[in-house]
Amino acid sequence: MEEKHWLDYVTAFGAITTPIIILVLTNIGWKLRKSIDRRLELEDKLREDRINTYNVILEPFTIALMSQASWDSNKQNKNKNRKDVVSDKLLSLVYREAAFKLTLVADDGVVLAYNELMQFFYSQKAKGDISQEKTEHILGLYGKLLLSIRRSMGNDATKLDHWQMIEWFITDVHIFKKT
């Protein structure tokens, strides 16, 4: 008998292990693909839920920040006090449910920005006129919330800052914006 050369052993080992390695790699690839598909499917399902939740959460702030002329121009707002409407919306069960849902379906950045905005409001004990400094802080926090929502909706690489997020509806945002 002829002695087997070490190359024959390597070839035999390769012939046995190659299908096993291919099987293992295929299994890993399949599981990875399935995980990615599941994540994308979940994101699609959550997208509409997030949009609806964001709309409910943002509505009182949108009303509070709109001009009185805009408020008065809507026939549905006739004989309604804007501050009372905002207060009623913020204290409603629908709003509380939306805030709870926000903590479940929103990205961490959105939840943190919303929490920061709400904590600022909770910390304000005095009623009445708000100073320019407080208005600037509120607008900044609101812009951060909008920017976080923008990022959570797929615009991760946005170059906008939180002031640019509110420029479209705040006439004199440059007064509040610090460069």
Own/partner pairs for 93-102, CB < 8 Å, 24+ apart? 94/56, 95/56, 95/57, 95/60, 98/53, 98/56, 98/57, 99/57, 101/49, 101/53, 102/53, 102/54, 102/57
Question: CA–CA separation, 103 vs 110, rounded Å?
Answer: 9
Confidence tier at 6 by pLDDT (50, 70, 90): confident
pTM, to two decimals = 0.71
Count H helices and E strands in the chain, helices first.
7, 0
**Percent of the chain clearing pLDDT 70 (strictly above):** 92
Instruction: Give 9 or 143, the one with higher predicted confidence.
Output: 143
> What's residue 145's pLDDT?
95
| Residue in the block written with tokens 């070839």 | 11
Confidence tier at 44 by pLDDT (50, 70, 90): confident
Query: Mean pLDDT across the stretch 110-127?
Result: 85
Confidence tier at 122 by pLDDT (50, 70, 90): confident
Computed over every residue of the chain, the mean pLDDT equals 86
